Structure 1
Amino acid sequence: MYVILSTIAAVIMGSAVLAIRMKASKKPVTAKKIILPPLFMSTGALMFIFPYFRVTPVEAAEALAVGLLFSIVLIKTSKFEHKDDGIYLRASKAFPFILIGLLVIRIVMKIVLSSSIEVGTLAGMFWILAFGMLVPWRIAMYLQFKKLEKDSVDQPSQFA
């Protein structure tokens, strides 16, 4: 029952993330908008206070490794561009398919692993996976954003 409910929740959250990302590409990006999501998500680590959600070091390393692999795909498809009034996240035609693909892979992994790993442990592992995917992606975005921001300040204006 928990696996079914969490799968439905994952689909709803994945759809929300997709909608938010598509809408976000229409507004200028700020450093704050890049940095805040990992900070907000980090509060989820409080789940590990409860023994039900704790994972072994090997499980944590496995989940982190998968998250890091997933982050590579997100990093490769997240590019910024400078427009007149700011820096924007370039809308990638592949991004929605990549997000959906990553969501499907996570759901399949959850269904397969739920038969051999306790639900609480699996929840902890998937939080580590998601955090391990989000943090490197956002760090790469921040570095790219700062580089583009610096480059735009260093270049003289064409109207000067």
Structure 2
Amino acid sequence: MAAGIGLLIGILIAGSVIVIRLKASKKPTNAKKILLPPLFMSTGFLMFAEQSTWIPYWEAIIAFLIGTFFSLFLIKTSKFERHSGDVYLKRSKAFALILVGLLAVRTVMKLFLEQSVSLPQTASFFFILAFGMILPWRITMYIMYRRLSREQGIESNA
């Protein structure tokens, strides 16, 4: 029952991200909109103040590296374009499919992992994985944004 609720929550979150991403592509972006999400997400590291969430360093490194690998798919589908002097994140039809695919892979990993470690440690592993996915993706997006901004002479908000 709990696994079904967790899966449903994951699907709802993935759906929300898809909707937010599609809406975001209708508005111009700036450096703050790109860089603030990983900064806000980093507050989740406070979970490690609780000892039950601790995992071995090598597992944390593996989780981060898996997230970094997953970020490659997000990076590949994130492109910027210029319209009327502003920079917009270009819509990608593949983005929604990639998010659903990542959700499926993550769900299978979670079902496998939670059989051998505690729930707080599973949460730690997947938080680090998600951070490993968001951080390189957003840094790459910022670099692409800055490059396009410099080429077009657009001022940055960072």
TM bucket normalised to smaller: over 0.9
- Give the match for residue 137 of structure 2: 137
1:62 Cα deviation from its structure 2 partner: 1.2
- Give the match for residue 17 of structure 2: 17
Could you tell me which amino acid in structure 2 is paired with residue 37 of structure 1?
P
Does the alignment pair 1:111 with 2:102? no
- Give the match for residue 157 of structure 1: none
Deviations 1:114-149 (CA, angstroms, capped at 9, x unpaired):
111211111000000000000000000000001100
1:5 Cα deviation from its structure 2 partner: 3.6
The alignment partner of 2:81 has SS state of: strand
TM-score norm. by structure 1 comes to 0.91
Q: How does 1:6-45 map to 2 (within 5 A)?
A: 6-45=6-45
Give, in whole Å, the separation in 2 of the partners of 1:91 and 1:71: 17
In the alignment, is the contact (CA less than 8 A) between 1:59 and 1:125 conserved in 2?
A: yes
- Give the match for residue 89 of structure 2: 89
In the alignment, structure 2 segments of 5+ residues that lack a partner are: none
- Runs of 4 or more off by more than 2 Å in structure 1? 1-9
Q: Does the C-alpha gap of structure 1 residues 3 and 51 become closer, same or farther in structure 2, counting only changes over 3 Å?
A: farther
Give, in whole Å, the separation in 2 of the partners of 1:51 and 1:141: 34
Percent of residue pairs bearing the same amino acid type:
47
Could you tell me which amino acid in structure 1 is paired with residue 101 of structure 2?
G
Give, in whole Å, the separation in 1 of the partners of 2:48 and 2:2: 18
Deviations 1:29-79 (CA, angstroms, capped at 9, x unpaired):
111100110011111111010011111111101101100100111111100
TM-score norm. by structure 2 comes to 0.92
